[in-house]
Structure 1
Amino acid sequence: MSHKVTSVWKESMIFESDNPNGYMFNLGQSENTNDPYKPLGPKAVMLSSLAACSGLDVVSIAEKMKTTFDDLKIEVEAELTEEHPKTYHAVSVDYHFYGSNLDEKKITKAVDLSIEKYCGVMEMFRQFSKVKTAIHFHNNYI
């Protein structure tokens, strides 16, 4: 299976990109907070992709394990190298689960399966970065 995207330069430091599903989004840099393109930073999108990839795994696996949670928040923080090309050399992924009577054992297993087996973006990050993960449970979240 292959994926293909096309990115088109719009103006200044803005590119419009599609994805294999056909949806369009803007990537680039803008100093203007009111920029109508509202571009996403390419490196930050990589971090969002990591969170979404693993999050999709976790939700799917938890559903199959018949365990639930009210909310899931994944925070990804990364450090860039000082020299060009600037790449992420250290990444931390924090999974925050919210709910009542969270089944910590099943949820931990779902996260571990994502981290160790299913999340391709996580595996790609491991090729160039040290990745740390942590799970946080917030029981009786209101």
Structure 2
Amino acid sequence: MATTNHITTIWKGGMAFESTNPSGHPVNIDVAPEDGGAGSGFRPKALMLSGLAGCSGLDVAMLMKKMKLEVDDFRIETIANLTDEHPKYYDKVTIAYHFTGGALNKEKLQRAVDLSVEKYCGVMEMFRRFAELKIETVFHQK
């Protein structure tokens, strides 16, 4: 049986919306004041990038735990190019995985990133349908 997600998004006045999530936590969505909003929430397209980084990050964190890898800090920098023509969408996205630590196992960390990118992250697969993806892994020794 296919899994479905049901999201309810409610207009809160102006350009603001509140969107439910299967977790039960709401997300506020709004646009910048120069676009007629109050800047009181996430921008919809930027929220897609957070979803991409979060999905892949969860995979990598799970694999780091499973592989018993020592990492002091892990962050993902996601940089996307928005097209000029309407409807504007991301056509190129760079996802950079940054690992910091004193005893980084580079091969295993790279394997964790590769597994997320190539096999586990469904949001990555969705992005692959409309954007050129560039994946970088950066190691910072302490």
Using structure 2 for the length normalisation, give the TM-score. 0.93
Aligned residue pair count:
138
Residue in 2 aligned with 1:90?
Answer: 92
Name 1:9's counterpart in structure 2: 11
Q: Deviations over 1:106-132 (max 9, x none)?
A: 000000000000000000000000000
Say whether 1:21 aligns with 2:23: yes
Structure 2 equivalent of residue 80 of structure 1? 82
State the match for 1:104 in structure 2: 106
Report SS of the residue matched to 1:69: coil
Q: What are the equivalent positions in structure 2 for 1:1-142 lying under 5 Å apart?
A: 1-31=3-33, 38-140=40-142
Where do 5+ consecutive residues of structure 1 fail to align? none
Distance (whole Å) between structure 2 residues aligned to residue 21 and residue 85 of structure 1: 30
- The alpha carbon displacement at 1:28 in A equals 1.8
Q: Percent identity?
A: 49
CA distance in 1 between partners of 2:15 and 2:32 (Å)? 7
Report if the CA contact (8 A) 2:30-2:38 is conserved.
Answer: no
Mapped to 1, the partners of 2:138 and 2:70 lie a distance apart of: 15
Q: TM-score, structure 1 length as denominator?
A: 0.93
Task: Give the letter for the 1:29 counterpart.
Answer: V
> Aligned to 1:136, what secondary structure does the other structure show?
strand
CA-CA distance at 1:37 after TM superposition: 7.3
Unaligned runs of 5+ in 2: none
What is the distance in 1 between the residues matched to 2:128 and 2:39?
Answer: 32
Q: CA deviation at 1:22?
A: 1.1
State the Cα distance separating 1:30 from its structure 2 match. 3.3
Q: How far did residue 38 of structure 1 move?
A: 2.1
How far, CA to CA, are the matches of 2:50 and 2:137 in structure 1?
Answer: 18
Which residue type is aligned with residue 13 of structure 2?
Answer: E
